[in-house]
């Protein structure tokens, strides 16, 4: 196992570095209560807009709250939204895509037309519409982003299922009397995992951006819960006076999304039999 791990790290250096960065971000989210230097909700109006210093490494915001502590706690919210929303989207997309690709005929036509309707809307606009319908809040944002990502996953699962369903082992399964659910769960799903995993990895990054965008627009997580988008929204109003507010959260978003995207590329290369390791 260690030999294989070293081989992967050597041939996918960028992906290995991205994996380490993502792991570090996950650890920050898990241990936020112990890493954050101050309470993210504690404010001191006498220390508003204080520049980065020994007391406040990333400065303070318009209410005297520690920007670094709020960014660290925002990591937990962003990763929670990214992972949960991507799981929701993956589940819905896989069900629709696999059922449509395997069944064919009328069922396929109906399901894929529903997917086409979802794809006809820009992703962020669809997320805004769903959030406006359900309302703000952590749970509603995760549901909205997950539903908005489902059509993309469904399209990938549908295309992969159409390729797999023509293989001989699917015909053999039908011949021995396997029912449709068993064929889809035991023979189709395991053979379409490569594109699904890659899509899921990229969807996590997109979901994090979506949550930040919704919070920035005031339609996501409600204040005073610390989120990266909310921090940037506050920093935008005081960009000239206190540029460190928006830049801290912006750097966190940049590092997280870039690392996840590079990790997704590495996973794709590793799972691609034409590339291999």
The pTM of this model reads 0.84
Structure tokens at 13: 């250096």
> pLDDT grade, residue 128 (50/70/90)?
confident
Q: Is residue 24 part of a domain?
A: no
Within a domain: 242: yes
Residue 6: what pLDDT? 65
The long-range contacts involving 128-136, CB below 8 angstroms and separated by at least 24 positions, are: 128/214, 128/217, 128/219, 131/214, 131/219, 131/220, 132/219, 136/214, 136/219, 136/220, 136/221, 136/222
Q: What is the dihedral of CA 226, 205, 112, 182, to 10 degrees?
A: -100
pLDDT of residue 276 exceeding 50, the answer is no
The percentage of residues in the chain with a pLDDT greater than 90, rounded to a whole number, is 12
Whether residue 11 is contained in a domain is answered as: no
pLDDT digits (tens, 9 = 90+) for 68-107: 999 999 998 888 888 999 999 999 999 998 888 888 778 8
Residue with token string 């991507």: 86
By C-alpha distance, which of 142, 162, 132, 159 is closest to 89?
A: 142
On whether residue 54 sits in a domain, the answer given is no
Domain count, the chain: 1
CA–CA dist 25, 32 (Å, integer):
10
Q: How many CA atoms lie within 13 A of 63 on its CB side?
A: 10
Which DSSP letter does residue 190 get?
A: G
pLDDT of 3 higher than 80: no
- From 68, 82, 79, select the one nearest 29 (Cα to Cα): 79
Considering the domain boundaries, does residue 252 fall inside one? Answer: yes
pLDDT value for 88: 92
- Tens digits of per-residue pLDDT, 136-167? 778 888 888 888 889 989 999 988 888 888 77
Owner of token pair 């979802």: 118
Model confidence band, residue 24 (pLDDT cutoffs 50, 70, 90)? very high
Tell me which residue range forms the domain holding 168: 65-271
DSSP letter string, 131-177: HHHH-SSHHHHHHHHHHHHHHHHHHHHHHHHHHHTTSHHHHHHHHTT
CATH number of the domain residue 171 falls in = 1.10.3720.10
Q: Does residue 84 fall inside a structural domain?
A: yes
Pairwise CA distance, residues 184 & 190, whole Å: 9
Any domain includes 57: no
CB 215 within 8 A of CB 127: no
Give the CA distances from residue 235 to residues 124, 174, 228, in Å, rounded to whole numbers and listed in that order: 22, 60, 10
Pair 48, 63: CB distance under 8 Å: yes
Give me the chain's average pLDDT, please: 84
pLDDT digits (tens, 9 = 90+) for 182-238: 888 888 888 888 888 888 888 888 888 888 888 888 787 877 888 888 888 888 888
CA–CA separation, 166 and 131 (whole Å): 40
In a domain, 31, yes or no: no
Largest separation between any pair of C-alpha atoms in the chain: 77
């Amino acid at each position: 196992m260690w030999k294989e791990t070293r081989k992967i790290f050597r041939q996918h250096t960028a992906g290995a570095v991205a994996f380490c960065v993502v792991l570090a971000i996950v650890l920050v989210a898990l241990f936020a209560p112990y890493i954050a230097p101050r309470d993210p909700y504690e404010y001191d109006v006498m220390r508003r807009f204080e520049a980065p210093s020994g007391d406040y490494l990333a400065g303070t915001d318009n209410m005297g709250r520690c920007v670094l502590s709020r960014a660290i706690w925002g990591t937990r919210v962003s990763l929670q939204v990214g992972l949960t929303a991507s799981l929701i989207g993956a589940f819905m997309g896989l069900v629709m895509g696999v059922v449509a690709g395997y069944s064919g005929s009328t069922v396929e036509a109906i399901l894929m037309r529903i997917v086409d309707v979802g794809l006809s809307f820009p992703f962020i606009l669809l997320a805004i519409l769903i959030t406006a319908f359900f309302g703000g809040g952590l749970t509603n944002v995760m549901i909205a982003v997950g539903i908005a990502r489902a059509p993309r996953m469904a399209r990938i699962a549908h295309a992969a299922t159409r390729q797999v369903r023509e293989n001989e082992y699917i015909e053999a399964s039908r011949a021995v009397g396997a029912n449709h659910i068993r064929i889809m769960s035991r023979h189709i799903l395991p053979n379409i995992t490569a594109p699904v995993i890659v899509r899921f990895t990229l969807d996590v990054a997109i979901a994090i951006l979506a949550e930040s965008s919704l919070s920035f627009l005031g339609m996501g997580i409600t204040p005073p819960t610390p989120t990266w988008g909310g921090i940037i929204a506050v920093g935008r109003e005081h960009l000239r006076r206190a540029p460190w507010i928006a830049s801290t959260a912006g750097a966190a978003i940049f590092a997280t999304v870039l690392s996840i995207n590079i990790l997704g590329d590495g996973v794709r290369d590793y799972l691609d039999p034409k590339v291999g390791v």
